[in-house]
Structure formats: C-alpha cells, structure tokens
C-alpha cells in the first residue's frame, strides 16, 4: 500500500469526490460494474428508449474491463483496464443519468471531461498491464447482464483495495 493514499468506499459521496485531487492515489472498496463497448451501446439504447438498465447508474462506478473467465476455484480471471476513449461516445449520457465513477486507462474526450466536471463525477486511471494485480482485488464477481457478450458481459464486482489514480474530476 502507498502511504498517504486515500481510501474511497463505492459508491462515493459527493464529499468523497470533492475531497479528491488530480494525482491522488486511491484504494477503492465496494461495488464496481464492468462494461465495455458493446454493453455501453446497449445501455445507451435502453436509456434512449426509456427501458430499464441492468443496474442503476445513480452513483455507480463502471470499470472499463472485459475479464477473462475464472479458472476452477478462482473468483475471476485477469481483469485489467481497457482504453476508456472507446466509451466516450456514451459517457456524457451515462453521467447525465447519474454515473459518478469511471475507471480505465487513457485519455478522455473534451465532451467527457466537460461532463465529469459539470456533474461532480471522477475518472480514475488504472494501470495497464496489471491485470493480475486487479484480479487480486476482486473479492466477489456476479454476472449482471448481456451474457451473450462473453468477456464483455456486465459483471458486478466487489473490490477491496483496488488501486487507481485520480485523473479527471
């Protein structure tokens, strides 16, 4: 563990987010939903058609990740971050609908940055190439939606001491 790192329970309170600074190292604890490109596309269509989402976006945390299947006796397979920019077309809509935390790697579009700042959300950068580290932080994994997407299906993860860095807030 890194000394002086902040510990954030998910979902975060507005005060939790307000007290973060870009560059802060954090350890996240609580519920995170995995979702990648195709799940984002389906969820955006559901919002546009006033249909139910597979989970409530209000205060939610999404980890841009497509975990590999778990081996026998394991909770989850490798689960490193994917490139966040691939979700940028959908992210402002999700933030408008309550999304507060995004976790991934890479830069974000100007529209996403504007939405994050306007709505009091936060983008955490995760370490590319550290899938084994992140796997060790997952204490529970449950399927939620879109099983036909395979590794890109939406999962509800319970994480403990999941390391990240505040990149945009």
User: Does residue 40 have an active-site annotation?
Assistant: yes
Question: Model's pTM, two decimal places?
Answer: 0.96
Report the 3 state secondary structure along 98-124: CCCEEEEECCCCHHHHHHHHHHCCEEE
pLDDT for residue 1 is more than 90: no
By the 8 A CB rule, do 146 and 152 touch?
yes
How much is the pLDDT for 18?
Answer: 96
The one catalytic residue in 36, 40, 100, 105 is 40
Rg of the Cα atoms in the chain: 15
Tell me the pLDDT tens digit for each residue of 120-136: 999 999 999 899 899 99
| Peptide linkage before 97 cis (omega within 30 of 0) | no
Percent of the chain with pLDDT over 70: 100
Beta bridge partners of 125: 104, 165
Tell me the pLDDT tens digit for each residue of 55-101: 999 999 999 999 999 999 999 999 999 999 999 999 999 999 999 99
Domains and CATH numbers, the chain: 6-168 (3.20.130.10)
């Amino acid at each position: 563990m890194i000394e002086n790192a902040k510990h954030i329970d998910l979902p975060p309170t507005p005060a939790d987010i307000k007290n973060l600074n870009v560059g802060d190292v954090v350890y996240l604890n609580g519920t995170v939903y995995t979702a990648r490109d195709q799940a984002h596309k389906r969820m955006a269509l559901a919002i546009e058609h006033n249909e139910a989402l597979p989970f409530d976006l209000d205060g939610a945390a999404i980890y841009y990740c497509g975990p590999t299947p778990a081996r026998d006796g394991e909770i989850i397979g490798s689960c490193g971050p994917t490139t966040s920019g691939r979700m940028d077309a959908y992210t402002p809509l999700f933030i408008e609908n309550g999304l507060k935390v995004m976790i991934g790697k890479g830069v974000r579009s100007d529209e996403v940055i504007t939405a994050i700042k306007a709505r009091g959300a936060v983008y955490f950068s995760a370490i590319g190439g550290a899938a084994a580290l992140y796997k060790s932080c997952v204490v529970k994994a449950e399927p939620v939606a879109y099983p036909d997407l395979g590794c890109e299906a939406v999962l509800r993860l319970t994480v403990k001491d999941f390391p990240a860095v505040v990149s945009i807030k």
